[in-house]
Chain A
Amino acid sequence: MLKGFTRNFPLFKILTEEQVEAIHRGTLDVLQETGVSVYNERALKVFKKADCDVNFETKRVKFPPGLIEECLRKAPSSFRVKARNPKNDLVIGPGNILFFNFPGTGTVNLDTWEPRTATEKEHVNLIRVLDALPNVHFLNAYPYFGFSDGIPEIMKEIEGVALRMRNSTKVTVAIANNDIDIFTIKMAKATGTEIFANPNTSSPLTYYTDQVNACFLAAEYGLPSMIWDGATSGGTAPASLAGAVVLSNAELIPFIVLIQLLNPGARVSVANLVLAQNMTNGAPAFGEIGVSLHNVAFNQVWRKYGIPTVCSSCGPTSSKRIDFQLGYQKMMPTILSAISGSSVLQLYSSIYGEITAHPIQAVLDDDIAGMIGRFLEGIEVNDESLAIDLINEVGPIPGHYLDKAHTRNWWKKEQLVPKVADRLTYPEWMKAGKKSCIDYAKERVNEILAVHKVDPPLTDNQEQDIERILKEAKEHYQKKGLITDEEWEIYKEALKESGRPY
């Protein structure tokens, strides 16, 4: 099992108990009065059977508060997720803080800072770096959206899943568009790993059929779910933070109700990707600090529900470069989420929005994760660490602590030494060529890529299964017309180039 970071002090809270109640009450009211639109007949029937007020014409479902509270109670507050290699099993639950990566569509050129599609090799390298970093506890869907331009849109993530299965033994996430998760889950099954089902809400208060089907798949295969909500306050959610928390919670709860109705006690967690709207250009305001206020309040409400939370909004920033702005836009939401009770933080490897990611950035973020982990451990207070006898013995100047056994015993326990931060003095730094953290991160990435091996690699049988499932997927989407004949020809060429069968 992977050990996450342990928080040794009480949760940081920003709402009073009364404010939490007001948000909860508002959420129940919205679900009862207005309800949600569910574009999925199977789900409408399930809700109807559980005594929800269902209008099959308008697809509107309204929820009795008793049912909501019962379903919230059925969800476990802590659970295990099994990886292909048991050493990578996860425990998702309070007080154990895990990290994973936030994806980018593509990579970024570290000189011009312009985004571009990753090659297959770059895609594999990012997976390998994430597999190697001990504080990346599992992998998100992607990390890049496919590779090269020859792969049809619909096959990009399925090809990506195959790369993750081959190059990592960590748990990963299945996305739910156009049946992609059907093939993803088959691959996971073939390789003996669990995978997160990933139903996404559509704001405001709407659920499309593929996303709902993800809940049915989770029930069918007995998989854990990570439910995402990505409302934009001021666009698809109220501009006031309290209202945005009400709305996003009202959106997450119906999925939990459905999952618990299908499979009582099923493992669920809720991921918060609520962002503010950038009012000057209409895009989400990545890196905005109000997002952290939303997330801290969100954590506090969900702690009351006893359901683990995932902070996704700490991943994307509005900087296009690995620079000062990126540093504070990643550090602030991540530490605030960690001390306020997120069980999982989606920090690693992302740069701008959901557009760019880079393995160098993953290695840089590893130092942030380490620092946050050290902070969460808190301060050890006991007779030895208080060191009263030692202080009395050393006394005033010329006494000092450098030559004491106590210092030798303790400094390594107390201090975290970062992996790629520049910690030199000016003279040392000048002599060593004025290296910055990016220079050191490049070195660490090269080192990881030179030595890291996936443990264990897939067996021959598992490899064959992956290829078979890929083939099934290609045929499935050709038949559905999602891969055109023209795309198919280019696809074949692309696969040939990378030396792969088709």
Chain B
Amino acid sequence: MLKGFTRNFKPLEILTEPQLEAIHTGTLNVLRETGVRFESERAVKLFEKNGCPVDHSNNRVRFPEGLVEECLRRCPSSFRVKARNPKNDMIWGGNTTYFQALSGTRTVDLDTWKPKTPTRKEYYDAVTVLDALENVHIVPWYTPWFGFKNVSPVMAMPEGLAARLRNSSKFTCANYSMGCEIFNIEIAQAVGAELRSSMAASPPLTYYNDAAENAFRIIKAGFILLLTSGSVYGGTSPATIAGSLISSNAEIIAGIVLAQLIKPGTRVIAQDFSFPQNMRSGSPAFGAIEISLHQAAFNQIWRKYGIPTDGGVSYPSSKKIDYQAAYEKAIIALIGTLSGTNTIWIQGALYGELAFHPVQAIIDDDLVGMIGHFIEGINVNDETLAIDLINAVGPIPGYYLNKAHTRKWWKKEQFVPKVADRLSYPEWLKTGKKDCLTLAKARYEEMLATHKVDPPLTPGQEKDIERILKEAREYYKKKGLISDREWAAYKKDLESPNYPYA
């Protein structure tokens, strides 16, 4: 099992108990008074059967408080998730935090910083890097990228899932679009892995049919469901952080009620994916500090509900691997970890959902290691307090460098990063003034040269994946969702002698 990181002190809390109650009460009020619109007839019927008042004219479902609280209680507060290789299983919940790669639609050129579409080979190589990085515990949906060159959009998700299962044995995830979850589920089952998938609200207070349908399918398969809102405060939720929490929590809770009505005890995780609106450009304000406030409060509330949380918000607003990208990512991930997020997306992402680079993932892995080291806290016992040693060493000329205590403890107490520049000026000038980016590029090459997925898929699993992918391609061609022009490019890609790797 993967240990992740364990927080050994109380979580950071920024709300008082009365403030927390006010947000909870407000959430229940909105669910009861206004409710949520569910496009899915199947979902509406299930709600109605369980005592929710339903307005069929607009598919509005209103939620009695008793049902809401009962369904929240049905969710397990902690559970195991199974990866393809059991050594990569995890237990989510409680005072542990795991980290996962964070995707972008495209890669970036590390000289011009312009985004560009990755190739199939880049995609598979990036998965290898994510598999190799020790602090990437989850290789989730859309990572490394949403798709790659020549693959028609509708096939991007099954193709991406296949790549992640081929080049990684870590826990992975797959999302939904145009029914592709059917193929995703089959692929995961063929290799004996569990999946996490999502049910995403369309704020404000709406769930479209595909989201609910995916929930039904994922729960039937016995997999894990992530509920997310994705509201933008000032656009699709109130401009205030407190109001936005009510609005997004109402959406997430409506989804949880559905999940628990479909199958009581279903493993769910609540994701904070809310951003302030950048009022100048209309896009989300990635990297904004309010995200950390929102996230800290979100974690505090969901800890009360006893439901694990996921933080998907560590996108920087910077387009380059630079100072700004670092402080934006660092504070979001750090505050998320301190306040109790159980699974945090971070490695690899650059500007808001649009860019990912494996070299960035390597640099981020050091940042994650630092955060992980921090939350383990301080060891306080007779040996670490070292009172006898301090008394023995005394004032100058006493010192600690030659002591057995130092040899024993420094490695436990210090975190030594992999690609950070830690040289003195003379050393640094002599070795070519290398920065963390240069060192990360070298580590990238080294990983690709040496890392092997453990275990690789068996020939039988490979055959199954190919069969399912082929079925999916046929299905979407028949439905007209892969156009002839798209198919021509895609087909050429499939006929490459190095398929599936290039």
Q: Considering residues B112, B288, B415, which has the most beta carbons from chain A within 10 angstroms of its beta carbon?
A: B288
Closest to B235 in A: A402
Selecting from B42-50, B209-217, B419-427, B446-454, the interface stretch reads B419-427
Partner of B436, one of A37, A319, A410: A319
Are A328 and B327 in contact, CB atoms less than 8 angstroms apart? yes
Are A235 and B401 in contact, CB atoms less than 8 angstroms apart? yes
Residues 348-372 (chain A) with a chain B CB within 8 angstroms = 352, 355, 364, 367-368, 370-372
Cα A400 to Cα B238 in complex, Å, equals 9
CB neighbours of B16 from chain A (8 A): 9
CB neighbours of A426 from chain B (8 A): 115, 319, 351, 354
Are B324 and A437 in contact, CB atoms less than 8 angstroms apart? yes
A378 within 8 A of B: yes
Cα A257 to Cα B269 in complex, Å, equals 53
B178 within 8 A of A: no
Partner of B325, one of A13, A247, A324, A330: A324
B149 to chain A, nearest CB (A): 19
A173-193 interface mask toward B, CB cutoff 8 Å, 1 = contact, 0 = none?
A: 000000000000000000000
Are B387 and A246 in contact, CB atoms less than 8 angstroms apart? yes
B233 within 8 A of A: yes
Are A321 and B234 in contact, CB atoms less than 8 angstroms apart? no
Given A247-B390, A327-B325: A397 and B202 within 8 A (CB)? yes
Are B204 and A378 in contact, CB atoms less than 8 angstroms apart? no
Partner of B386, one of A246, A327, A416: A246
B242 within 8 A of A: yes
Selecting from B19-27, B123-131, B457-465, the interface stretch reads B19-27
Residues 218-257 (chain A) with a chain B CB within 8 angstroms = 233-243, 246-247, 250
Are A437 and B292 in contact, CB atoms less than 8 angstroms apart? no
Residues 366-394 (chain B) with a chain A CB within 8 angstroms = 367, 370-371, 373-374, 377-381, 383-387, 389-391, 393-394
Are B400 and A407 in contact, CB atoms less than 8 angstroms apart? no
Closest to A114 in B: B429
Are A402 and B326 in contact, CB atoms less than 8 angstroms apart? no
A277 within 8 A of B: yes
Are B323 and A411 in contact, CB atoms less than 8 angstroms apart? no
CB neighbours of B246 from chain A (8 A): 386-388, 391
B475 within 8 A of A: no
Cα A14 to Cα B250 in complex, Å, equals 33
Are B396 and A202 in contact, CB atoms less than 8 angstroms apart? yes
Q: How large is the interface on A (under 10, 10 to 19, 20 to 34, 35 or more residues)?
A: 35 or more
Given A319-B420, A423-B285: A414 and B276 within 8 A (CB)? yes
CB neighbours of B240 from chain A (8 A): 380, 384-387, 406, 410, 414
B321 to chain A, nearest CB (A): 5
Given A401-B235, A422-B319, A423-B317: A386 and B396 within 8 A (CB)? no
A494 within 8 A of B: no
Are A396 and B36 in contact, CB atoms less than 8 angstroms apart? yes
A449 within 8 A of B: no
Cα A430 to Cα B108 in complex, Å, equals 13
B120 to chain A, nearest CB (A): 24
Q: How large is the interface on B (under 10, 10 to 19, 20 to 34, 35 or more residues)?
A: 35 or more
Given A14-B378, A396-B206, A426-B319: A421 and B324 within 8 A (CB)? yes
Which label, helix, strand, loop or mixed, suits the secondary structure of the A interface?
mixed
Are B421 and A378 in contact, CB atoms less than 8 angstroms apart? no
Cα A325 to Cα B363 in complex, Å, equals 8
A26 within 8 A of B: yes
Partner of B330, one of A328, A421, A436: A328
Closest to B38 in A: A396
Q: Considering residues B240, B334, B406, B425, which has the most beta carbons from chain A within 10 angstroms of its beta carbon?
A: B240
CB neighbours of B381 from chain A (8 A): 242
B82 within 8 A of A: no
Are B30 and A320 in contact, CB atoms less than 8 angstroms apart? no
A67 within 8 A of B: no
Cα A436 to Cα B319 in complex, Å, equals 8
B33 within 8 A of A: yes
Partner of B327, one of A238, A368, A394: A368
Closest to B419 in A: A325
Selecting from B7-15, B186-194, B259-267, the interface stretch reads B7-15
Q: Considering residues A240, A241, A321, A374, which has the most beta carbons from chain B within 10 angstroms of its beta carbon?
A: A240
B67 within 8 A of A: no
Selecting from A15-23, A155-163, A302-310, A478-486, the interface stretch reads A15-23
Cα A261 to Cα B323 in complex, Å, equals 46
A-B pairs, 6 with minimum CB distance: A327-B326, A243-B386, A387-B243, A240-B384, A37-B395, A396-B37
Between-chain CB contacts (< 8 Å), 25 pairs = A8-B14, A9-B15, A12-B12, A19-B380, A23-B380, A26-B387, A37-B395, A238-B386, A239-B406, A240-B379, A240-B386, A240-B409, A243-B385, A243-B386, A281-B422, A283-B424, A325-B420, A327-B326, A374-B289, A375-B335, A380-B241, A391-B247, A396-B36, A414-B239, A414-B241
